[in-house]
Amino acid sequence: MDDRQFRNAMGKFATGVTVVATEVEGSVHGMTANAFMSVSLSPKLVVVSISERAQMLEKINQSGKFSVNILSSSQQDLSMIFAGQQKNHQEVKFERLGEVPVLDGAVAQIACEVSAAHIEGDHTLFIGRVTDINIEDFEPLIYFSGKYRSLVEE
């Protein structure tokens, strides 16, 4: 099986889009990620999967904390910025939730402390213990087959 077939298949799983953010020595780093999942209710755990090639890997290893910002339908530009697909952009302002930077306008902001890190293949799975949550009543951004979409009500 080649890489393209695998990616095409995984792209058929419609997801939301998140920006994972962390802060190291006063500098905030963000990265677009759709490999995000709820793991456990008691305790409250989530997981994000970060490529060994992403700068974010070392940043989270250093800070031990991160936020997951579930993007709203109006935040496609932020998804592209934090995936490195839009270079000439204005400065992105972050707010704070507890001890982590978060994005204003997200559907949900989830603050986490790293509770475990598992290296699996070419990614690291960071298990985050959820320390704080903020939810807004916005429509989510959707990602399917490499394209951005929005939800349509039946």
Amino acid at 143: Y
3-state helix, strand, coil in the chain (%, to 5): 15, 50, 35
Least Å from the CB of residue 142 to ligand NAD? 12
Summarize as ranges the residues that interact with ligand NAD (CB under 6 A): 7, 10-11, 34-35, 49, 51, 83, 146
Q: Which two structure tokens, joined as six digits, stand for 57?
A: 């890997």
Q: Which stretch binds ligand FAD (CB under 6 A): 61-69, 74-82, 104-112, 126-134?
A: 74-82
Number of residues that bind ligand FAD (CB under 6 A): 22
Stretch that binds ligand FAD, among 1-9, 50-58, 64-72, 128-136 (CB under 6 A): 50-58
Please state, in angstroms and rounded to a whole number, the distance separating the CA atoms of residues 97 and 108: 11
Task: Decide: is 46 part of the binding site for ligand FAD (CB under 6 A).
Answer: no
Is residue 129 classed exposed, middle or buried when 0-12, 13-18 and 19+ CB atoms within 10 A define those classes?
Answer: middle
In the complex, minimum distance from the CB of residue 41 to ligand FAD, in angstroms, rounded to a whole number: 22
Q: What values do phi and psi take at 99, rounded to 5?
A: -105, 10
- Rounded CA-CA distance 67/22 in Å is 6
Which residues of the chain form contacts with ligand FAD (CB under 6 A)? 17, 28-35, 49-51, 54-56, 79, 81-84, 92, 143
